Amino acid sequence: MVRHAPPASLGLLLLCCLAPDAGARGTPLSVRLTSRGYEQLAHKRGVRVYRDSRARVPGIGAEGIFPMPPDVLLATLVDFRRHVGRIAHVAESRILKRQGQWQLVYQRLDLPLISDRDFTLWVRWGRDKQTRWVEFHAVPYGPATRRGVVRVRHHVGNWELRPIHNGKATLARYQVSIDLAGYLPGWMARSGAGKEIPALFAAISSLAAGTRPRACSTPRSRVAPPLRAR
């Protein structure tokens, strides 16, 4: 059951959702990640993976090329219902509310060796000239907490998609920062950083191969639309 915000907290909810986390927009593709303090971790399957260890919650950045146009890739990224069973560890993914170019999405992750994690993301998307983008961050809205599932409070990130090869392919940059909270062995936190990102790119590419660009439209403005509790 979806937990609705009471009137006293509605203002805070609106503030959280209409003013995305400062890290949601990330570093534009025109700027090298290494110039912003990122260090390259790996180069695998054509994907370069970077890590920024300066913040309390380290950030991961990745760059790669997808063999389809940005609109097709964007439609895949925001079609969260299709991610279950196709994106690693996504055990549940439900769209709680959608309006125009934003939506509230609840997800539960089935992770190895530790308890499941869950969160609700406020996601929005659009375009600036030829570049498509997706931004998301966790918000305190959605299903009530469940026994045995740890609620993630910090999860913020973005995708930037730029057409290449006459629009037939996409240069993509992904940036994300997530605090899995709860009990997490130190060795797992260190060894797992960025290792699954190339597989994520491959899974998204496979999904996008069967996606049509009509699945979502892309407005030119980044002005956030209003969000109202139902």
Beta carbons of 112 and 106 less than 8 angstroms apart: no
Alpha carbon distance 5, 33 (integer Å): 38
State the chain's mean pLDDT as an integer: 81
pLDDT at 106: 97
The bridge status of strand 149-151 relative to strand 116-128 is parallel
Domains, the chain, ranges and CATH?
Answer: 39-215 (3.30.530.20)
The more confidently predicted of residues 41 and 230 is 41
Task: State pLDDT tens for residues 141-157.
Answer: 889 999 999 999 999 99
Q: Which of 79, 73, 63 is nearest to 132 (CA)?
A: 73
Token pair in block for residue 174: 């992904």
Cβ neighbours for 95, distance < 8 A, ≥ 6 positions apart: 80, 81, 103, 104, 105
Task: State pLDDT tens for residues 169-201.
Answer: 999 999 999 988 765 555 445 555 567 899 999
Residue 181: is it exposed, middle or buried by C-beta count within 10 angstroms (0-12/13-18/19+)? middle
| Mean pLDDT of the region 84-104 | 95
The bridge status of strand 2-3 relative to strand 142-143 is antiparallel
Give the pLDDT band (50/70/90) at residue 131: very high
Instruction: Kindly tell me if the per-residue pLDDT of 53 is higher than 50.
Output: yes
